[in-house]
Structures are given as C-alpha cells and as structure tokens.
C-alpha cells in the first residue's frame, strides 16, 4: 500500500526578526535562497486613499525559481514577537488585518539565478478604515520546493515583506511594564534582567530607553540600552538585558526608563538586588584567623641578658650571707 505524507503544511517564514527589529537583516532571507526587498514596508494611508509602492524579490540561489506571490494576514501571540500567518481574515474579524487592502502584480514570476524583479504593491484603503495600525505580509513562495520533516509534515519555505499601514485619526497609544525582574541575591555577576512590556495601543510601538544600574553609594555603574523592537498591538514583548560586570558587592538599584509613542510617553520601573561574593569573603576571613593564630603560637619571649656586673654583685651578696652565718 502506498503511503503519503500528511497534508499538514508548515510555512517557514523568514520574517521573525523583521517584525522585532527596526533594522532587519537580509541574511535570514538570503539563507533560504531568496530575498524580499524591502523586508519591511511602512505606509501612512488616509481612508479612501490609494497608494502604489515598489517591492522586489531576488533569487539568491544557483537554480532557476518560479515564484508565487500572495498576501496574508498575521497575528502575534507570544512574548518574542513571532508573526503567525492566518487565513480567511478581514477587517471585521481581525482589527489589524490589512491583506484585503493590498494587491500585488504580477503574482507569478520566473527568476534566473541572481536575478531581481520588481513587483507593484497597491494599497486601497477603505473609506471606513479604523484609525491605527493595520498589518499584512507579502509572501514569495518557490514552486516545487517542499521538504518533508521527520514527523511527515510538509515544510514550505517563504520569504516576504511585512507591510505596516497606519491610518491617521484618534489613535490610542498606551503601554505598561508587566514585569521587571532580576535575581534578588547573587554571588557575583553577570546579572540578567527581564522586562515584559504590554502594548495597549491601536498601533505598534518601539520603546527606546535603557536599564540603569546604581551601586550602594547611588552612583551609576552601568547603562544597558534596550533593543529596538516593535511590539504588535495588544501583545507583550520580552526584553532581556545583561549587566556584564563580574565582581560586585552590596545592594544595587536597577531602573528601567523607556519612551514610546508619538508624544514620548514614559515607561519606568525600579527593583533592588544584592550581590555578595560570600565564598570569597569567607575564605579571606578564614585566612586572617589562621594567620593570627599562627602568629600568636610562634611568638617568642624576648631573651634576658645578665651583665657580668650583676653576677659579681650576686656573688658578693652570697659571701656576706655566709660570713654572717659563721659569726653566729
């Protein structure tokens, strides 16, 4: 009996870092044999406005490729910003959906090795478009390049451009720090900090700021800049920061300050933590105690020096005592 692989299809999309970073790299896309140019496209569009943009797709491989281009909506559900492709979405079922607004032509291209071709992207903004952010991804998929995973699922590779469309109007911009933490007690550094920011806005935000470290004397000992990362609306994003100093001592204060939004709203939080190298301190104290004990044990009394004159006087005194006893 002939067996076939399950029909489940997993799309590997080289867009993960593109949503997270404000300066995405092309390497992640070219490693799949293709590049999408640009990897992220930001557009401001008024309701009813039609906007035309140029995007490109490049064949980085040594083989000819036949590319199908499509537009899909996506959502982000985790704390690391992974965009997940979703189907059958529109502006009514997904507040931030924009795939129905976008047309790309041509939808099929043939690329020779090393060849780059331009595509026309048209955004038709609905008259009743809700102010705020709307998002979609333009995917380029090579035909007949499907591999089978160990589980039997079909794996299809895609590259593409994330499209950010901002509709002007009354846009809510709000965010909060859900978590700012570090180990409360450590023996020595480095010290790792975790920050989770919740975006409560109608649009993506990019917090800009740093984690500042102050020692027990209130002096700033370090400043760790936050990664420039986009946070999708109504999702949280985790930031990891590290204070790389190894030798520390005492109680420290860590404070995060970050600005976001068009008016520079401020996010701030403070924590305290201790760093005490107790093993080193114990060794030092024990060493000092041992040295003091040894010094006390082997300490010698100063020698007594008897001069010849004293010896002579003692002899004379003995002779006088003897004469006195004879007279009796």
| pLDDT at 150 exceeding the cut of 80 | no
CATH 2.60.40.10 residue ranges of the chain are 9-167, 175-275
| pLDDT at 230 exceeding the cut of 70 | yes
pLDDT band at 193 (very low <50, low <70, confident <90, very high): very high
The closest alpha carbon to 119, from 49, 85, 68, belongs to 68
Q: What is the pLDDT of residue 26?
A: 40
The stretch 267-273 carries a mean pLDDT of: 97
Q: What is the pLDDT of residue 301?
A: 54
Fold of the domain spanning 175-275? Immunoglobulin-like (2.60.40)
Q: Which residue has the higher pLDDT, 18 or 303?
A: 303
pTM, two decimals, is 0.72
CB neighbours of residue 279 within 10 Å? 10
Integer Cα distance of 7 and 69 in angstroms: 21
Superfamily covering domain 9-167: Immunoglobulins (2.60.40.10)
Poorest-pLDDT segment among 198-207, 269-278, 313-322: 313-322
Whole-number Cα distances in Å, 311 to 35, 117, 318, 321, 325: 108, 118, 11, 16, 22
Q: What is the pLDDT of residue 263?
A: 87
Poorest-pLDDT segment among 32-41, 108-117, 128-137: 32-41
Q: What is the pLDDT of residue 107?
A: 93
Q: What is the pLDDT of residue 315?
A: 77
Phi and psi torsions of 313, nearest 5°: -65, -40
């Amino acid at each position: 009996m002939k067996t076939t692989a399950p029909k489940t299809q997993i799309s590997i999309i080289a867009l993960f870092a593109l949503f997270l970073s404000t300066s995405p790299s092309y390497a992640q896309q070219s490693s799949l044999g293709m590049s999408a140019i640009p990897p992220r496209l930001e557009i401001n569009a008024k309701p009813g406005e039609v906007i035309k943009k140029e995007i490109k797709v490049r064949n980085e491989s040594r083989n000819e490729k036949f590319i199908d281009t499509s537009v899909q909506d996506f959502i982000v559900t985790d704390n690391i910003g992974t965009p997940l492709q979703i189907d059958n979405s529109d502006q009514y079922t997904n507040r931030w959906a924009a795939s129905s607004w976008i047309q790309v032509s041509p939808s099929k291209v043939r690329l020779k090795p090393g060849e780059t071709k331009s595509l026309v992207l048209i955004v038709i903004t609905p008259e009743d478009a809700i102010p705020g952010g709307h998002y979609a991804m333009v995917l380029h998929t090579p035909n007949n390049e499907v591999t089978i995973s160990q589980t039997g699922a079909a794996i299809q590779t895609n590259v593409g451009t994330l499209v950010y469309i901002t509709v002007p109007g009354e846009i809510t911009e709000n965010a909060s720090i859900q978590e700012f933490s570090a180990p409360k007690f450590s023996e020595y550094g480095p010290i790792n900090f975790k920050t989770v920011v919740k975006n409560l806005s109608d649009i993506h935000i990019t917090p800009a700021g740093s984690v500042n470290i102050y020692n027990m004397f209130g002096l700033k000992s370090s400043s760790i800049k936050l990664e420039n990362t986009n946070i999708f609306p109504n999702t949280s994003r985790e930031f990891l920061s590290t204070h790389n100093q190894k030798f520390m001592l005492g109680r420290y204060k860590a404070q995060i300050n970050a600005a976001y939004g068009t008016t520079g709203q401020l996010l701030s939080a403070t924590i305290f933590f201790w760093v005490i190298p107790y093993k080193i301190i114990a060794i030092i104290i024990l060493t000092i105690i041992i040295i003091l004990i040894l010094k006390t044990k082997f300490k010698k009394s100063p020698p007594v020096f008897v001069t010849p004159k004293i010896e002579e006087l003692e002899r004379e005194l003995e002779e006088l005592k003897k004469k006195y006893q004879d007279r009796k």
